[in-house]
Amino acid sequence: MTSLFTVIIPVFNREKTISRAVDSVINQTFSNFKFVIIDDGSTDKTSRILSKYKDSRMTVIRTENCGVSSARNTAVKDLITPYAAFLDSDDEWLNNKLENDFQFIQENPQYQIFQSQEIWYRYGKRVNPKLKHKKKSGSIFNESLEQCMISPSSVVIHKSVFENHGLFDPNMPVCEDYDLWLRITPFYEIGLIDKQTIIKYGGADDQLSRSVTAIDRFRIYSMLKLLNNTKYSEYQKKIVPALKRKINIVMAGAIKNNNKNLFKNLDETLNIIGQGCTPRDFSYLL
């Protein structure tokens, strides 16, 4: 039987967690899948750990360190299965994750992108997600403007979605998932498996979101890209209020941290938007 899924794990210097992630994929009750790990130039013991695996479904591709977006894109570009299933290298799947995904596709073939519920751990302790983080099904573009509503470790995406709307933005060191969901959700309803099949870990020092300051500036960047794209013209009125809120948040942080250049650039951007125009140059946000 032809494989339905390619499981994709991007990894960089995760010697402490990569075995947990890989083992959770190998031990799936649904076994007919391809498995690609992109070692994004790791310099710790990650590569050595991966070399010990002998599973015939598993391919390890080692690249220069170019970031998580480029790592995921490397695998997606060569995708030969209908669906890509992603897992972050510091998370893990419960062993019935792909089995649930397979059943969902059989029963709900209309969904080209879907996800499932998660178990959350923060600093080693189990926590309950806040109400605002509750996963939703259907049209979620409005919610996606405010925050990331789709989890990379639970999402399954049909390859046609990438063909129609592009890959992860390699220019973004963080919020690259937010950026992709923002480009996708205007055109697709999101399916939801209302079962917990992922364990998501937070609080580690090496998480990307902890390594970058003023993270909302990347969400601003994503929204400005959409304002400059006629493909999203009917959604742009919805984007502007959320964009202004994010700009004001980052401007307040810029004042607090005495980042005069960022404040000045954001203030100019806010003025341009206020005049009903669209900024053409917002590379300062990267």
Contact 19, 96 (CB under 8 A): no
Delimit the domains of the chain by residue range. 5-210, 216-285
Range 272-279 average pLDDT: 94
The residue ranking higher by pLDDT, 231 or 204, is 231
123 φψ region: left (φ > 0), alpha (ψ -120 to 50), beta (else): left
210 pLDDT higher than 60: no
Range 170-176 average pLDDT: 95
Look over the chain and give the mean of its residue pLDDT values, rounded to a whole number: 95
Quote the pLDDT of residue 130.
86
Of 124, 45, 39, 138, whose CA–CA distance to 89 is shortest?
39
Confidence of residue 2 (pLDDT cuts 50, 70, 90): confident
pLDDT tens digits for 74-117? Answer: 999 999 999 999 999 999 999 999 999 999 999 999 999 999 99
Of 254, 246, 235, 253, whose CA–CA distance to 270 is shortest?
246
Strand duo 83-86 + 5-11: pairing: parallel
- CATH fold of 5-210 reads Spore Coat Polysaccharide Biosynthesis Protein SpsA; Chain A (3.90.550)
Confidence of residue 129 (pLDDT cuts 50, 70, 90): confident
Q: Where are the beta strands (DSSP E) in the chain?
A: 5-11, 33-39, 58-62, 83-86, 92-93, 113-122, 125-127, 156-158, 191-202
Range 215-237 average pLDDT: 96
1 pLDDT higher than 90: no
In one letter, which amino acid is 263? F
End-to-end Cα, the chain, rounded Å: 44
Quote the pLDDT of residue 47.
98
Range 130-145 average pLDDT: 92
% of residues, the chain, pLDDT over 90: 93
Range 242-246 average pLDDT: 96
% of residues, the chain, pLDDT over 70: 97
Quote the pLDDT of residue 209.
53
Quote the pLDDT of residue 207.
60
Range 165-190 average pLDDT: 97
Quote the pLDDT of residue 208.
57
Quote the pLDDT of residue 52.
97
Quote the pLDDT of residue 44.
98
Lowest mean pLDDT among 106-115, 120-129, 156-165: 120-129
Quote the pLDDT of residue 132.
85
pLDDT tens digits for 31-58? Answer: 999 999 999 999 999 999 999 999 999 9
Give the Cα separation of 70 and 86 in Å (integer).
Answer: 14
212 pLDDT higher than 80: no
Confidence of residue 203 (pLDDT cuts 50, 70, 90): confident
0.85 exceeded by the pTM?
yes
273 pLDDT higher than 70: yes
